Amino acid sequence: MTPRALPLIPVAAVAALVAAWAATPAADAARLLQGSDVVASAAAAAACLAAGAAFSPGDHLWRAWILQSLSWLALAAAVLLGGVAATAGGAMTPLHAAALVATNATGLASLAFFAAVLWKADLGFTASTAERLAVWAAAAVVALAFAGVVLMSDLAQAITTGSLRDVIFVIADSTDLLIFLLTAPILLVALGVRGGALAWIWGLAAAGNLGWILVDAASGSLGDRLDPAQARLLAHTGTAAAAWCWAAAALAQRRVARGG
């Protein structure tokens, strides 16, 4: 597969999910969305593991890819542990919660390693001050407008109920907020290496992070304007977009690491 074809992977996967959802009876929709999450997360975990395996254990990006793989693996486990009930908004067991904490923690650690490449590789000169400010400002706006709004709402809910489910939501919202902020340095690397083989990796990784916008939008004001079934589809479409973008980024990384 050529690098130019890689962005077609998330586009085709999301289109297939929406088409399958439209063709599925409402009673089976939760099972379809759960299956999509598991397949997409497992595919991303496998692809990120393959990308990491192309590096040596001492390499900076080895840690980033392995942690990213673990994050998707933990998410697949969390979806399976939560079952269809969780997809439809049901209760949360401690094991399910632990898997969700694990996916957030490893995902955030992975992105910190990816983001650190901007400084570690001394790529600061690749963007002007105006470009850097614009990218950081855009990341902050997205973080506050999507994750920040949902975080405030879920924080109030968690303080009121004190339930495990609501506390986990606060952790997930906080992670999303940091993911959007960490997308700024990843995007700056992508912009810096545009025209080179590495641009596909970093561009698709940044796009994968932005997939979580749909998940947060489904929990926020946009979700309120949709019927519950459509809001759930929007959230799971975001998960699929994020997972398949990261899978495509990992395939691009694997290709570069093998000298392709």
**Site of interaction with another protein (CB under 8 A):** 54-56, 58-62, 117, 120-123, 125-126, 192-199, 256-257, 259
Cβ atoms 113, 139 nearer than 8 A: no
Q: Is 138 exposed, middle or buried (0-12, 13-18, 19+ CB in 10 A)?
A: middle
Q: Which two tokens stand for residue 167?
A: 């506390």
CB of 115 to another protein, least distance (A): 12
Cα(159)–Cα(130) distance, integer angstroms: 40
Q: Is 76 exposed, middle or buried (0-12, 13-18, 19+ CB in 10 A)?
A: buried
CB of 116 to another protein, least distance (A): 9
Instruction: State which residue, 10 or 192, has the beta carbon closest to another protein.
Output: 192
Residue 253 is which amino acid?
Answer: Q
Instruction: State which residue, 54 or 144, has the beta carbon closest to another protein.
Output: 54
CB of 192 to another protein, least distance (A): 5
Q: Is 182 exposed, middle or buried (0-12, 13-18, 19+ CB in 10 A)?
A: buried
| Count of C-beta atoms within a 10 Å radius of residue 66 | 20
Cβ atoms 71, 114 nearer than 8 A: no
Query: Chain centroid to CA 224: how far?
Result: 22
Instruction: State which residue, 53 or 171, has the beta carbon closest to another protein.
Output: 53
CB of 28 to another protein, least distance (A): 44
CB of 147 to another protein, least distance (A): 29
CB of 149 to another protein, least distance (A): 35
Cα(25)–Cα(16) distance, integer angstroms: 16
Residue 6: what are its φ and ψ, rounded to 5°?
-60, -40
Cβ atoms 189, 122 nearer than 8 A: no
Return the residue matching tokens 């994968």. Answer: 208
CB of 5 to another protein, least distance (A): 19
Instruction: State which residue, 147 or 193, has the beta carbon closest to another protein.
Output: 193
